[in-house]
Structure 1
């Protein structure tokens, strides 16, 4: 390596055979490897007999590590940044470090590879020409519901990460925000022994995952089909819209949509999406 470089190296999300030849060469050649969890990544490096010196860069120390990494680059050393799994910076630490290194005038070079949400999207059967990657939803139920409500009318495929501890609650929150009939796909433990990719309506997915505790374990990508774009033939009746807007002055959006649906015969989810849009 003729110049100091910070390499952003993607690592496997499960199957170790997915580590590219270039990634192995870079990790074996750099002077330092910055890892989110040095013990976790140490096992990966040991598997490939890579003995680079490791430093920790995680959510709690990333800003403090910037100066140290820049000093190492200034001394002529090259480094690789890796996360626990997949592509660094995708719902993982690294943004502040990469920006600081670039601003300091050093080269940052990506070494592409695995990314859980890209793998899930490619196998989901959902539209992939336009999508929005959300990552992890808020952990508190109120904030999670509010975040989902703002996404209910989006027409592109929505992509979420979720943990084993919140997958059931998050699917129920999506069902409440997007409606029972919205199609979605749960991708679990990708590239691992118990890989599962299961699609159904949100109501069907909630029923499926509650019925089998084994399907509640692991790391999840949840992909939700975008809202349908209304056509001229699908336009909501003006009188129904008038009633909806009157009710919305006194009632929360979900309640207003439900009452308006009972009065007018329009679908509740369409009325609700009209309100939040």
Structure 2
């Protein structure tokens, strides 16, 4: 027993130096690994550490050196889950630039048109946040609302907001041009959505462009495009049925040519007028004659009045009402104006319209309505052609023929009687004016004699 203990002591004393060297080298390798992760140069330092460990451990035993080398490679290349090495491992190349974390470069003397969310703060783009953080001034039409919005996304607003409206646009324009020419950068925002689209700001952009100031756009949310996307009123020629379009073209070329105007096109009219007569004129002259969807911004308190006018002029058109888009109380209802009017007249539906913003979409004419319109136009052309043929056959005077062509036929008896009464009244008035003229002339003659 004593002899065995003596042999063990002798072996430990002989290999004590090698054992200490192995401990030092392993500690140094672990330190180099942590430095490699910190310095983002893992390949070179890993190779260097593995090479040093393999060479120094191979002095004692080739098999032991090979095992230590494999163990070192596994330790550096396959870290355990949750360890220091795994948390700091990068999945992208070391020299690559991440565009999502790189700050946006702001040009001096530039006016940025920045889009803000229309309801959901998560719709804020990274570029919009960078621009709002780095610009010197923020031009807005509503300073309290913009200040609240900036505070929600942790952007400093103190001393950076400039109020702009139609009442002070002349004074504001000179101040803004002076600041931009002095090398300052600005951002134009509105309360929600994209500026200059149904909002104040287009006049400011035109004035800045006329002064030679560079204007840049930062795209983002817009209620107009969101309503178009969720309503489904526009379509592409690639989505239409080729067989039905071919048959339609063979039956009526004019109908297919009119429907081809609806391929992605739309009309944006901002907001309908406040007065009842002006709204009816726009609905009759613009919306009814259009062959594509028409979009309007609207406020809740006028929705029932607008639906009444649409039901009066366009009772067969499909109407889409988009309320509070991207918000918690988002709603979308599509039907004819008469049915929508009955729906929103209920008490539970009327509670939805206490606040918020609306987008009103009036769909284009369907195939039956377009066919009726084409038939009316064809009947007018046939009537005009028939009248021209009659005039050519009669060989009447050129002036009389023009008057007859320009004067439409009156088929209503009531309208004919009204026109005859008007002519008699005009003749009576002219006769009375002639009598008064004669009396005045006689009086002048008598006065000259006296």
TM bin, normalised by shorter chain, reads 0.7 to 0.9
Instruction: Give me the CA root mean square deviation.
Output: 2.4
Q: CA deviation at 1:233?
A: 11
Question: Is 2:133 the counterpart of 1:28?
Answer: yes
Correspondence for 1:213: 350
Correspondence for 2:202: 95
Would the alpha carbon gap of residues 107 and 248 (structure 1) be closer, same or farther in structure 2, given more than 3 Å must change?
A: farther
What is the SS of the residue equivalent to 2:139? strand
Question: Is 2:181 the counterpart of 1:41?
Answer: no
Q: CA deviation at 1:149?
A: 1.1
Question: Is 2:204 the counterpart of 1:69?
Answer: no
Would the alpha carbon gap of residues 112 and 2 (structure 1) be closer, same or farther in structure 2, given more than 3 Å must change?
A: closer
Q: CA deviation at 1:55?
A: 0.5
Correspondence for 1:169: 305
Correspondence for 2:46: none
What is the SS of the residue equivalent to 1:166? helix
Give TM-score scaled by structure 1 length.
0.83
Q: CA deviation at 1:110?
A: 0.4
Correspondence for 1:192: 327
Q: Are 1:36 and 1:58, in contact at CA under 8 Å, matched by a contact in 2?
A: yes
Correspondence for 1:156: 292
Higher mean C-alpha displacement, 187-196 vs 57-66:
57-66
Correspondence for 1:235: 375
Give TM-score scaled by structure 2 length.
0.52
Instruction: Measure the CA separation in 2 of the matches of 1:64 and 1:247.
Output: 60
Correspondence for 1:123: 230
What is the SS of the residue equivalent to 1:246? coil
User: Mapping of 1:262-277 within 5 angstroms?
Assistant: none
Residues 187-224 of structure 1 deviation map (CA, whole Å, 9 limit, x = unaligned)? 00111111001111111111111122123232100101
Residues 10-46 of structure 1 deviation map (CA, whole Å, 9 limit, x = unaligned)? 1011111111110000000000000110000100101
Would the alpha carbon gap of residues 203 and 100 (structure 1) be closer, same or farther in structure 2, given more than 3 Å must change?
A: same
Instruction: Measure the CA separation in 1 of the matches of 2:379 and 2:161.
Output: 64
Q: Are 1:189 and 1:196, in contact at CA under 8 Å, matched by a contact in 2?
A: yes
1:246 corresponds, among 393, 400, 410, to 410
Correspondence for 1:141: 276
Q: CA deviation at 1:227?
A: 2.1
Instruction: Measure the CA separation in 2 of the matches of 1:64 and 1:123.
Output: 41
Residues 108-136 of structure 1 deviation map (CA, whole Å, 9 limit, x = unaligned)? 00001111111011000212501000110
Q: List runs of 5+ in structure 1 lacking aligned partners.
A: 252-277
Correspondence for 2:218: 111
Residues 73-95 of structure 1 deviation map (CA, whole Å, 9 limit, x = unaligned)? 01110000001110001111111
Q: List runs of 5+ in structure 2 lacking aligned partners.
A: 1-105, 236-263, 384-407, 416-450
- Name whichever structure is richer in helix by fraction: 2
Instruction: Measure the CA separation in 2 of the matches of 1:193 and 1:250.
Output: 57
Work out the number of aligned pairs and report it: 248
Q: CA deviation at 1:247?
A: 5.3
Correspondence for 1:259: none
Would the alpha carbon gap of residues 247 and 61 (structure 1) be closer, same or farther in structure 2, given more than 3 Å must change?
A: farther
Higher mean C-alpha displacement, 214-223 vs 162-171:
214-223
What is the SS of the residue equivalent to 1:213? helix
- Name whichever structure is richer in strand by fraction: 1
Instruction: Measure the CA separation in 2 of the matches of 1:99 and 1:144.
Output: 29
**Structure with more contact order per residue of length (Cα contacts < 8 Å, sep ≥ 6):** 1
Instruction: Measure the CA separation in 2 of the matches of 1:153 and 1:245.
Output: 23
State the structure with more CA Rg: 2
